[in-house]
Structure 1
């Protein structure tokens, strides 16, 4: 313990690149990934395969056009867009909905929720500026009585 640098204890580790997701997306849904990369960044990620790496001489190993860390950062930005082909491929959707179609379905869902429950988003949020409601004195006395009975039954002393 004394050999460790104490300033580093308790720090979070930085998240690692999600290489499994990225490589799965590249192998199984290459068309969707390539289309999104071309649409957004005007280039395609070309990683080096294991056979090409193993067959290359030791002093001249091939390199991809972009490192896997940067490729994951760029792909993560693509996956944040739920109208991208890559997101649809990973989600198992049969097609990629447009933004207007998503808005239409959201509106239909909202109208159904309004008709069924009378839901209003502005009514369900507690007002942070309003004081918390006071507990009724009879309810509080009953709660304290039940608590006292439990302490007596289980021999709890404070």
Structure 2
């Protein structure tokens, strides 16, 4: 079963915005153009932002409806191929491949390295001096050299 342009639009529209399938943001529009392999020297990220701005109806709008999205695809075709009639090439590129990907994002750490950062028994040097053997902080005593002025100098009086 092949997807329609509207289905691809809805996939990218709701990416990072669950339930919002009627309009697409600038970030998701640029993500789609990039992931579908349409970017090149002529059609760079600045050009994509300009196309998005021209396609949305007025400065108050921050998203594209599907009708505005189709108009933006015509502008993408004109920018990439020099002719708005090449919009079918753009649409066929968009229909290729899968939906939005999460490649290059940070995943959950599986190494358990966080415990080494929070376990005071692994600390060394001056950081080790700030904690007792039970792992509790020593407070000001652990941060500063506190001298007890209790008579180590001859003639000291309290």
TM-score bin, normalised by smaller chain? under 0.3
Q: With structure 2 as the length reference, what TM-score do the two structures score? A: 0.25
Query: Relative to total residues, which structure has the larger helix share, 1 or 2?
Result: 1
Q: With structure 1 as the length reference, what TM-score do the two structures score? A: 0.25
